[in-house]
Amino acid sequence: MSTDSEIIRDAEQTPQAFAELFDRHAVVVESFLRRRLGADAAEDALSETFLIAFRRRGSFNHAWESARPWLLGIAARVAAKHRATEARHWRAVEASASRGEFTTGGGIDEATGRLDAAAAIQALAPRIAALSPKERDTLLLYALAGLAPDEIAQALGTRVGTVWSRLHRIRKKLAPAGSHSSRLTWIGKELDDGSARARA
């Protein structure tokens, strides 16, 4: 099986080879965009993301085998262009959570977890909307797309230290008012004073 890097290299000479990259990553990229923009805008944003990636395939850094961070970085920039849509989406998430309509999916055994998630989203949605675009991109690439800080740095074209600094600032901004806690738990991930890890 070819790596993403090899597929992109092949696509420079044989453009139709790029379709395999779409097949591999479209679900992850669309999921990320749906969470950022909502279902209606996500389809158009997905098409735009892959069109941009195809046009810029010559700029891909072949030191990376996976194109996932690169594609998600493009998707984050496409979503940023749709800021008004994203802001409406976060307001809708907050409103549906306050009405008890928001769920994270899953079976009946996860009902308590879904209620906790709905409460957390209701509380966090306005604070997420208030983050700077760079902070919001960093948070959502981490929390929704599951990228590691080095992958976020690749996706956003910045240094890993910058990503860690942003995550630290985000943790402080999203912490409940008056909280002295050193950690923030959100969407199954923990940010804890400079170290990030999946919750067990």
**34 lies in a domain?**
no
**106 lies in a domain?**
no
Q: Which domain holds residue 153?
A: 131-200
Q: Helix H segments across 18-159? A: 18-37, 39-55, 68-81, 83-98, 111-130, 133-143, 149-156
pTM for the full predicted model: 0.62
**64 lies in a domain?**
no
Q: How many domains does the chain have?
A: 1
Q: Are 191 and 149 in contact (CB under 8 A)?
A: no
The amino acid sitting at 73 is G
First to last CA, the chain: 32
- Identify the band that residue 51 occupies on the pLDDT scale cut at 50, 70 and 90: very high
**139 lies in a domain?**
yes
More confident residue, 66 or 120: 66
Gap between the Cα atoms of 22 and 3, Å rounded: 13
Computed over every residue of the chain, the mean pLDDT equals 79
For 73-131, the pLDDT digits (tens) are 999 999 888 866 666 666 776 677 666 555 444 444 444 454 455 566 667 778 887 88
**178 lies in a domain?**
yes
**156 lies in a domain?**
yes
pLDDT given at position 120: 65
CATH code (residue 165): 1.10.10
Mean pLDDT lowest among 21-30, 37-46, 177-186: 177-186
**176 lies in a domain?**
yes
pLDDT given at position 3: 93
**63 lies in a domain?**
no
